[in-house]
């Protein structure tokens, strides 16, 4: 939870509880529960009044970037995160080979800065800049640079908090940076955007395939995992939580 810069290959899967139980048996033989094994994850996504960033993301461009604020249930801090995904390209100037492009890998690069909940309220109410907030508890020079990027993106696109998305997460870690997460009970709202649950929040999934599994790796997946995915007929999907929820809100004419 304390890491601030991430660079890895990411793949998502939508699975059933039956598939989850099979996977879990294999995972427990090869991986460990991480330090924050069970957590409630709250994300407030920033966007323009016309939801330009989400709409662009839905079109699956080669490059996409989003700004969100993340907090964890029972945790008194907020991560402001700039999340970049590049299809077939590494971050910024580094090109990958043709095999990576053919595989349609998504390379995620996330950088984030830590502030308090009170700081977050000041930021969204326009009382101060992220750079000033980061300076209050600066740990590294990178913190101030990331905070400047947050300020730049907010100003450039006139971003505001637009949608809250939250879920329960289970996390496992393995060798060579392998990480697998399972997200359940996906809910959302686009009003009263606080890091709290509300009885009127809407449930996203309506069928038995209602678990989001994400595999994040710095290198290739281990053979045991590849074989388990194949035997269980689990295949990667293009799935963005915020993108899918936006489409649902649009159908409901709530955005």
pLDDT for the residue 229: 96
pLDDT score for 2: 52
Quick one: which of 247, 201, 205, 188 has its CA closest to 51?
A: 247
Token pair for residue 50?
Answer: 């016309």
- Rounded to two decimals, what is the model's pTM? 0.86
pLDDT of residue 99: 39
Spatial distance between the Cα atoms of 249 and 19, rounded to a whole number of angstroms: 29
Residue 88's pLDDT is 46
Contact between residue 36 and residue 171 where contact means Cβ atoms under 8 Å apart: yes
**Model pLDDT, residue 30:** 96
User: What pLDDT, in 10s, does the model give residues 40-55?
Assistant: 999 999 999 999 999 9
CATH of the domain at 54: 3.20.100.30
CA 242 – CA 216 distance, rounded (Å): 19
* Stretches in the chain below the pLDDT threshold 70: 1-8, 86-108
Residue 142 is predicted with a pLDDT of 82
Boundaries of domain holding 202: 5-251
For the chain, how many structural domains are there in total? 1
């Amino acid at each position: 939870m304390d890491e601030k810069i991430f660079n890895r290959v990411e793949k998502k899967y939508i699975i059933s509880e039956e598939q989850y139980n099979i996977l879990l048996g294999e995972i427990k033989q090869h991986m460990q529960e991480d330090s924050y094994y069970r957590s409630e994850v709250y994300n407030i996504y920033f966007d323009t009044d016309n939801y330009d960033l989400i709409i662009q993301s839905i079109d699956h461009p080669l490059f996409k970037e989003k700004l969100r604020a993340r907090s964890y249930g029972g945790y008194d801090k907020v991560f402001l995160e700039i999340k970049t995904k590049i299809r077939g390209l590494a971050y910024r100037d580094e090109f990958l080979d043709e095999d990576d492009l053919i595989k349609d890998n998504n390379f995620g690069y996330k950088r984030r800065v830590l502030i308090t909940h009170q700081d977050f309220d000041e930021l969204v109410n326009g009382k101060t800049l992220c750079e000033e907030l980061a300076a209050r508890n600066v740990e590294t020079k990178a913190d101030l640079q990331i905070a400047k990027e947050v300020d730049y993106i907010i100003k450039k696109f006139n971003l505001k908090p637009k949608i809250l998305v939250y879920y329960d997460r289970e996390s496992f870690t393995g060798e060579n940076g392998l990480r697998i997460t399972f997200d359940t009970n996906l809910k959302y709202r686009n009003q009263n955007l606080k890091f709290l649950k509300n009885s009127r929040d809407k449930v996203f999934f309506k069928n038995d395939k209602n678990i989001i599994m994400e595999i994040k790796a710095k290198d290739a997946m281990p053979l045991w995992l590849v074989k388990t995915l194949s035997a269980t007929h689990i295949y990667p999907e293009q799935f963005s939580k915020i993108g899918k929820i936006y489409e649902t809100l649009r159908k409901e004419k709530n955005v």
